[in-house]
Homo-oligomer: A and B are copies of this chain.
Amino acid sequence: MHELRKDPLLNRWVAILDYSLKPEDYARKMTRRAEEKASCVFCAGREAETPPEIAAIRANGTEPNTPGWAARVIPNPKPILHIEGDLDRRGVGMYDRMNSVGANEILIETPEHGLRAEDMGSEQVKKVFSLYKERMADLEKDARMRYIFICKNSGRGAGAMYSHSHSEITATPVIPKLLKEELDSAKHYYAYKERCIFCDIMTEEQRAGARVIADSGHFIAFCPYAPKFPFDFWVMPKRHSCAFQDMSGDELDDLSVLMTSLLKKLRGVLDEPAFHYVVHTAPNRIPRRDHWHTLGDDFHWHIEVTPRLVRSSGFEWGSDFYVLTTTPEDAAKYLKEA
């Protein structure tokens, strides 16, 4: 059984898998190529070869696990978390562990192999985002789960496991460290200023102007003042809202068009880069936890997009201090003009 263990210094949970790769497996892992089309079970017509679907947007009258779908969610064939069992949190000597309970799902974004997110069209992107909302709403009913983490990896350089366009949906019994930090920091700012830090950042970005890439009406896209990587950008709803799944229909339409346009710009400027994006949203609210009682006010959901352009060294990994070889002002300018 996989387990979760806590780093006693950094208060970070990690997942330890029970199948334990041998040293020689890593050479193979690093050189393994993304699957060729012939072997891709995510393509239309091969539904029977994947684990049974959990949710899908499909043509009227088509049966689950048959063709006719536009987007489809399946359990991850190689899960790091298991949906059954209880957490069994306990100490091991001075350390802390729990069972690796949670959900790992793959959202197949299109039946068509090789179609990139920016080429799907905004109607298809809207289906993908609608499924994010649906899965979040369903998974957060599980009281063992504290967070629903959604990300998309595109390209081997971004660590994508499959070449077929997909997103990953992960429900975890802990709030992942980076999100926890962000939530705590926003809470702290709120306690001091009585204002949402993200709303303040948006106001500041609109005032400064130099880092804004696009304003779509309901959303703003900008390069953050102190990013981690060159050409990082954030997409944020203008309306204050803590949770992705509370997005209105109008906002969803707007976001689908905007993301399509932004990913096209990214490709235009950077020669089809590998990239990932991560949805930053509030922790699960059912049951709402006291610790987060002001959450609706002090957190503001958004999406962070990162093209993978640079290789990180011991300096970045060991210090969490980053060196930006392109200023966010220049990056915004390139993306805006693309």
Contacts and interface: CB of A to CB of B under 8 A. Distances in A.
Interface of A: 5-27, 29-30, 80, 92-95, 149, 151-153, 156-161, 168, 170, 172, 174, 176-179, 181-182, 185-186, 189, 197, 200-201, 204, 207-208, 224-228, 230-231, 269-271, 273, 276-278, 304, 306, 309-328, 330, 334
A330 B17 CA distance: 11
6 contacts: A10-B178, A14-B228, A18-B327, A26-B310, A149-B315, A176-B321
Given A7-B224, A204-B93, A29 B310 contact: yes
A92 to B, nearest CB: 8
A129 B311 CA distance: 26
Contacts of A231: 23
A148 to B, nearest CB: 12
Contact of A17 (B151, B208, B323): B323
Contacts of A9: 181-182, 185-186, 197
A317 B94 CA distance: 28
A278 B317 CA distance: 9
Question: How many copies of this chain sit in the oligomeric assembly?
Answer: 2
**Chain A contact residues, majority secondary structure:** mixed
A11 B189 CA distance: 12
B311 A30 contact: yes
A306 B310 contact: no
A316 B6 CA distance: 15
Give the interface centre of A170, A178, A226, A228 by most chain B CB atoms within 10 Å: A226
